[in-house]
Amino acid sequence: MTAHAKCAKKFLADEPRADWHDETLWLVRTKRDRAAAAVDEWEALREQASQIKEEALANLNGLLKQFEAEATKNGAKVLWATDAEEFNRIILDIIRQHKAMNVVKSKSMLTEECGMNAFLLKAGIEVVDTDLGERIIQFRHEMPSHIVLPAIHLKKEEIGATFHEKLGTAAGASDPVYLTHAARLHLRRKFLAAEVAMTGVNFAVAETGSVVVCTNEGNADMGVQAAPVQIHCMGIEKIIPRQRDLGVFTRLLARNATGQAVTTYTSHYMRPKPQGAMYIVIVDNGRFKHLTQRSYASSLKCIRCGGCLNTCPVFRRSGGHSYGYVIPGPIGSILAPERSRAGGIDLPFASSLCGSCSNVCPVKIDIHEQLYRWRQDLTLQRRTSFVKRVAMCVAGFVLSSNARYNFAGALGRFAVKYLPRFLLYLPLNVWGKARELPVPPRESFKQWYKRSHNQ
Amino acid sequence: MQIMKSEPKYRHFIENLRAAGGEIVEIAAHTGSIAALFPDAIDFTQETVRDQFSASTSLEDLDKLECVIFEGSFGVAENGAVWLEDKDLPHRILPFITQHLVLRLDSANIVSTMEEAYDRIRLSETGFGVFISGPSKTADIEQSLVYGAHGAVRETVVCYNPSNLSSKG
């Protein structure tokens, strides 16, 4: 059994919760459908967004240089990090240079990818995550289970218990309004005390050297505008060429993520505040190498809306933590084999290949086709499990000969009909672990066809 | 959007702002103060008020602000967003730190889509700019929508001169 399948089994053991997870994300998906259907030119927007991202990735070096030049002109300091270690080191240096002790951070999957919180904690700096969902899982020492809804795996009673312990809310209280208000008061104090505020980046505009951050909660701005030092962290693929392109992406992002017409706040940071400092850290961490993998490079177009997670039948029924990679769901499953240090090579198999992910993707990444390609490549590179490889060899042997195929079919029908249950469902039969074998037909299709057409 | 060609942008703006949790007040005149509507508000559209607050005003003082008023540059019909930038803001944190954000908006200053919005903005000429659509919100606890995550708990857009629109459509 592979890692994803094992973890998914654990997730599914709590059936009411698994059902709730499934239904809730499906509701988000239906909201997304309504929002998309309300825009007549939706498909044209997706095509435009896809082309802009392709253009950006094709000219990445030039655009990054242009971005650096413009941002520097605006008064921001632009720094470059090759990998996670260098990135974390740069952030720590900035924090130390400004003698900061209080650091707040709005959502950034990049800092999750690079393990920044843990790194800074070792150096004595406790970063406070300010997105409500992120703060909840930070209190609980968990990873986000969804890139847009980080605490979607939790029930309000669990969050209530966590807040009771950490924030002193009333025991047993689980009302979302009450809990959100408690978090608001707690995080206001953190915002006002912060010397450094970090954010992720949704879009970086090469033409103007500005970064754009989208939030509903307003936590990016409460941090950035309160702290003297602001740091924006971005992967190289966040670049878009022109200011005008923002029109396309801001129309797609929130609609595809949550079904909102736009996020509450779409913030554009161009210059530091008076007497403030502004840093933009641009991180590679395997992205340039990923770009050279031609069949997989287009996964770098992703704008992290989470649409493919919400629609995926496997994600909805297995939960984000089952994936074991920082970006879960279909998009994570095509990133992980290239970028995850832990491997993630079972993830392309954690899919039904139904193609729904590709259909909802706002930048038209061929996600399910890449999942299929990864399966083939991983098998050819002998990176899949031994059992799977042997099974593939046997299947190849059987399917490549007419006689062997006919014989195997007859044998199968015989076996399912007459063998005792314990033999049929031996541990070797992975397929039968959660499923019943079908009732075998009397004859094969070929036999039936010959019989019924030769009369 | 196709719909917008047949219906006034203003109506769409209001619908979408309400969907985002924002409140609407329509007033006829664009001159004068709207102080009567929000008696406790600090009205940053008044120059004398702007002069009392600067980028160096302490955060603790700003944190006490219950209600502030700004003039929005323009609104976006397709999503109810209003654009604010440095020149409107004596301190960048003001629209976020206040409990109740009030934005005055000329009803004629509404564009249809975000593409049109970005055609009107000069990012290179400002230090900070933000589209705001509704009050701060979160659904991170069991997907229950709650207003007032970190930013303003309430947002009211005061649209003036709506009657002028009949000629402009």
- Nearest-CB residue to B128 (from A159, A218, A268): A268
Residue B2 — very low, low, confident or very high, per pLDDT cuts 50/70/90?
very low
Region B83-95: mean pLDDT is 95
Task: Give the residue, B145 or B163, on which the prediction is more confident.
Answer: B145
How far, in whole angstroms, is CA A364 from its chain's centroid?
16
For chain B, list the domains and their CATH numbers: 2-164 (3.40.50.10420)
Residues in chain B: 169
Do residue B96 and residue A225 have CB atoms under 8 angstroms apart? Answer: yes
- Nearest-CB residue to A270 (from B96, B118, B128): B128
CATH class of A39-285: alpha beta
Give the per-residue pLDDT at B5. Answer: 40
Give the per-residue pLDDT at B56. Answer: 79
What is the amino acid identity at position A98?
H
Angle at B90 (CA atoms; ends A196, A184), nearest 5 degrees: 50
Share of chain B above pLDDT 70, in %: 89
Percent helix / strand / coil, chain A, rounded to 5 = 55, 10, 35
Give the per-residue pLDDT at A309. Answer: 98
What contacts A248, CB < 8 A, 6 or more positions away? A45, A48, A49, A52, B114, B115
Residue B145, min C-alpha distance to chain A (Å): 8
Give chain A positions within 8 Å (CB) of B90: none
Interchain contact A162–B (C-beta under 8 A): no
What are the residue ranges spanned by the domains of chain A? 3-8+302-380, 39-285, 386-453
Give chain B positions within 8 Å (CB) of A268: 123, 126, 128-130
Residues in chain A: 455
Q: Which residues pair with A405 in a beta bridge?
A: none
Pairwise CA distance, residues A198 & A220, whole Å? 8
Give chain A positions within 8 Å (CB) of B74: none
Do residue A221 and residue B93 have CB atoms under 8 angstroms apart? Answer: yes
The pairing of strands B100-106 and B67-71 is parallel
Label residue B1 exposed, middle or buried (CB < 10 Å: 0-12, 13-18, 19+): middle
Pairwise CA distance, residues A101 & B68, whole Å? 31
Quick check: A308 and A260 in contact, CB under 8 A?
no
What pLDDT, in 10s, does the model give residues A180-222? 999 999 999 999 999 999 999 999 999 999 999 999 999 999 9
Give the per-residue pLDDT at B32. Answer: 58
Pairwise CA distance, residues B144 & B130, whole Å? 26
Name the residue with tokens 């992975």: A430
Interchain contact A225–B (C-beta under 8 A): yes
Give chain A positions within 8 Å (CB) of B139: 149, 258
Quick check: A297 and A290 in contact, CB under 8 A?
yes
Mean pLDDT rounded to a whole number for chain B: 89
Do residue A270 and residue B127 have CB atoms under 8 angstroms apart? Answer: yes
- Nearest-CB residue to B123 (from A191, A208, A225): A208
What pLDDT, in 10s, does the model give residues B149-168? 999 999 999 998 876 655 44
Residue B16 token pair: 């979408």
Residue A375 token pair: 């399966």
Residue B7 has pLDDT above 60, yes or no: no
Buried b (16+ CB within 10 A) or exposed e, A409-432: beeeeeeeeeeeeeeebeeeeeee
Give chain A positions within 8 Å (CB) of B144: 156, 176-177
Give chain A positions within 8 Å (CB) of B81: 262, 266
Give the per-residue pLDDT at B163. Answer: 64
Pairwise CA distance, residues B84 & B73, whole Å? 6
Starting at the edge strand found earlier in the chain, the sheet holding B100-106 runs B23-27, B154-160, B100-106, B67-71, B42-43
Do residue B130 and residue A267 have CB atoms under 8 angstroms apart? Answer: yes
Residue B55 — very low, low, confident or very high, per pLDDT cuts 50/70/90?
confident
- A-B interface: how many C-beta pairs under 8 angstroms? 189
pLDDT tens series, chain A, 455 aa: 468 999 999 999 999 999 999 999 999 999 999 999 999 999 999 999 999 999 999 999 999 999 999 999 999 999 999 999 999 999 999 999 999 999 999 999 999 999 999 999 999 999 999 999 999 999 999 999 999 999 999 999 999 999 999 999 999 999 999 999 999 999 999 999 999 999 999 999 999 999 999 999 999 999 999 999 999 999 999 999 999 999 999 999 999 999 999 999 999 999 999 999 999 999 999 999 999 999 999 999 999 999 999 999 999 999 999 999 999 999 999 999 999 877 789 999 999 999 999 999 999 999 999 999 999 999 989 888 888 888 889 999 999 999 999 999 999 999 999 999 988 898 888 888 888 988 999 999 999 999 999 76
What pLDDT, in 10s, does the model give residues A347-400? 999 999 999 999 999 999 999 999 999 999 999 898 888 888 888 899 999 999
